[in-house]
Amino acid sequence: MPTVSRTFTVTAPPARVVEYLSDFGNAPEWDPGTQTCTRNDDGPIRVGSNWHNESKIAGVSTELTYELTTLTDDTIVLVGTNDTATSTETITVHPDGSGSEVTYTNEIELQGIAKIGAPAMKLVFEKVGVDTEKQLTEVLNGLAGAEKG
């Protein structure tokens, strides 16, 4: 099962980071692989909210349905599923000075014939992890700037 995890600090406060990242519809802004991410339900973001996500990684397009399964003051868990994979994205957010320390972990469980590609996928997801950390840091730091302005 390929797993990628990154821990980094940002200038946005924890409550703002959790609010922003719990809405997975924002994923196209911070996830380099996400092309579109459309919410399937209405109302406030809550456990059970779900999104249709279309991603392209290493030239391969995929669609997953993501569900918000955990939402607390410091933890977000989103689980995306389709016929060939389950992607569990766990984000923890802790105070770090006036900003936040963010740990982003993505575990991908491949099913069926897709399991054959797991070793190669680990290399691909490591690269994606580097890109995601960079883009996510920029976006979250931008949130802190937007609050001051």
Provide the whole-model pTM. 0.87
Tell me, what's the pLDDT at 51?
98
Which two three-digit tokens encode residue 99?
């900003």
Domain positions in the chain = 3-148
In Å, what is the CA distance from 85 to each residue of 63, 100, 134? 10, 31, 25
Cα–Cα distance, 29 to 135 (Å, whole number): 8
Q: Mean pLDDT for each 10-residue chunk of the chain (149 residues)?
A: 87 97 96 94 97 85 95 98 93 97 91 55 61 88 71
Tell me, what's the pLDDT at 84?
86
Among 108, 106, 102, 107, which residue's Cα sits nearest to residue 136? 102
Tell me, what's the pLDDT at 17?
97
Which two three-digit tokens encode residue 83?
């016929």
* Topology classification of domain 3-148: Alpha-D-Glucose-1,6-Bisphosphate; Chain A, domain 4 (3.30.530)
Tell me, what's the pLDDT at 149?
46
In Å, what is the CA distance from 119 to each residue of 34, 67, 100, 124? 22, 26, 33, 9
Tell me, what's the pLDDT at 128?
64
